[in-house]
Amino acid sequence: MTPRLYKGEEAQAEHTPLEGGILGWLAILMLAVFLVAARLTSRNTQSLIFRIARIWVAGLFCFFAGVHRGASFYSPEGPRLSDPLIFLTMHFGGLSLALVPSRTAWRLTPAGMLLTLGGDLFLAQQNRLPRFFLRLRPLQLIVATLLISRLGSASRSGAEDKT
């Protein structure tokens, strides 16, 4: 049995469960850690930091895809045809960010994060995602978008290679 900070009733929660809030914000906080680390290190190390940050962001999209897929099982109507399509689009979109050239990835990622925000809010209003997403996701994903934009700008200023 896994110890939990919450009772496992996330699908019905109106307020963000402590566990979801902590884990959700820690994932976004890592983006700030990458920014600070890139500022404090040498140019050679910055390249590595930006590559790891890009993999982290790709992982965020894959994680969000899994959240969508998992939440579809808790929907009152059960999974819909669109649920695996959303999952696959987000998952392979995330994977592609790790594979495309860095300049392309950093340009696409903020738009992808804002699309995720719009989709999450729409699905939460339809009770296809937990209601607490209406409170958690706007600030969380806007902060993520701003940090990702800063990471992209910093990487374009010469630290990361063009691949």
φ, ψ at 68 (rounded to 5°): -60, -45
Residue 1 has pLDDT above 50, yes or no: no
Per-residue confidence at 2, pLDDT binned at 50, 70, 90? very low
Q: Is the pLDDT higher at 147 or at 1?
A: 147
Can you give the pLDDT at residue 8?
55
Q: What is the pTM of this model?
A: 0.85
Burial class of residue 148 (count of CB atoms within 10 Å of its CB; 0-12, 13-18, 19+): buried
User: At a CB cut-off of 8 Å and minimum separation 6, what does 10 contact?
Assistant: 17, 20, 130, 132
Per-residue confidence at 12, pLDDT binned at 50, 70, 90? low
Average pLDDT over residues 76-100: 90
